[in-house]
């Protein structure tokens, strides 16, 4: 417990020392909110209430999806090796980082929601809070997978591979335009990606009571995603680096 608190605190201090990076990590969804949102809300496809939940999932993919970059430097400068030789459990070393990432994501997501309200989003406050919780959980799975990828693929490939991977995942989730508009084949493909369920659950949460089957499915898929992501992340963290 001491170890986890120390690690999370350390990573948070390091992150907050560079506040610009926290804003920059949310820059893509922010651009979509400010530049794409006004068009979207007048397009007849949907309103701010449709777009903002999608942007939150985009945020989880973009922000948490790229956190692995930090561990690449840790590996290169011997920090990871130094941490591995302490009695702290490997899973704790990973969890300390991931908890920091989820706090950062929570702050970024809150910022986007506040801006969303300012632009005219109308959403249930209870649903918004539950939605924040869901997106934070999703980000834990995403961050763990990002670290696993960073420690597995060559360091110079990490950024291009991940940023290329998250774009189709984001589009397939229906984050920008809802999948109800999609032709049948695209709709089917989209159902194989976990983030679609999170997007739909968030939209349902923002729109009304948190009891619809859509919300349940979203929560269920997200929990499975986190379990799988964290298991893979821990496995990779435990692997000896030779």
- Enumerate binding residues for other proteins (CB under 8 A): 2-3, 6-7, 10, 13-14, 73-74, 77-79, 81-88, 240, 242
CB distance 98 to 206 below 8 Å: no
Query: Which of residues 6 and 110 has its CB atom nearest to other proteins in the complex?
Result: 6
Contact between residue 116 and residue 52 where contact means Cβ atoms under 8 Å apart: yes
Nearer to other proteins, 5 or 118 (CB): 5
Measured CA distances, 126 to 67, 71, 211 (Å):
29, 36, 12
**156 versus 240: smaller Cβ distance to other proteins:** 240
> CB-wise, 4 or 223, nearer to other proteins?
4
Cβ of 208: how many Cβ atoms within 10 Å? 14
| The length of the chain, given as a count of residues | 242
Give the H/E segment covering residue 141. Answer: helix 125-152
CB atoms within 10 A of CB 2: 8
- Closer to other proteins at the Cβ: 74 or 101? 74
Smallest distance from other proteins to CB 186, Å: 43
Is 6 within 8 Å of 86 (Cβ atoms)?
A: no
Cα–Cα nearest to 52, from 25, 32, 24, 26: 32
Q: Which CB sits closer to other proteins, 31 or 77?
A: 77
Rounded distance, CA 64 to CA 73, Å?
Answer: 17
């Amino acid at each position: 417990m001491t170890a986890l608190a120390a690690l999370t605190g350390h990573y948070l201090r390091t992150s907050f020392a560079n506040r610009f990076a926290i804003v920059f990590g949310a820059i893509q969804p922010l651009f979509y909110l400010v530049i794409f949102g006004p068009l979207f809300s007048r397009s007849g496809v949907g309103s701010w209430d449709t777009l903002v939940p999608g942007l939150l999932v985009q945020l989880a993919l973009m922000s948490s999806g790229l956190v692995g970059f930090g561990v690449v430097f840790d590996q290169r400068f011997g920090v990871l090796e130094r941490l591995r030789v302490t009695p702290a459990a490997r899973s704790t070393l990973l969890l300390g980082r991931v908890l920091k990432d989820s706090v950062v994501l929570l702050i970024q997501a809150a910022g986007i929601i506040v801006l969303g309200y300012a632009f005219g989003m109308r959403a249930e406050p209870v649903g918004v809070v539950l939605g924040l919780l869901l997106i934070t959980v999703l980000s834990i799975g995403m961050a763990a997978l990002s670290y696993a990828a960073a420690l597995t693929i060559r360091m110079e490939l990490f950024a291009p591979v991940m940023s290329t991977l998250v774009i189709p995942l984001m589009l397939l989730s229906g984050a920008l335009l809802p999948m109800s508009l999609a032709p049948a084949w695209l709709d089917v493909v989209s159902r194989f990606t976990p983030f679609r369920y999170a997007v739909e659950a968030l939209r349902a949460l923002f729109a009304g009571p948190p009891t619809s089957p859509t919300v349940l499915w979203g929560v269920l898929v997200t929990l499975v995603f986190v379990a799988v992501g964290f298991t893979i992340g821990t496995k990779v963290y435990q692997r000896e680096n030779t």
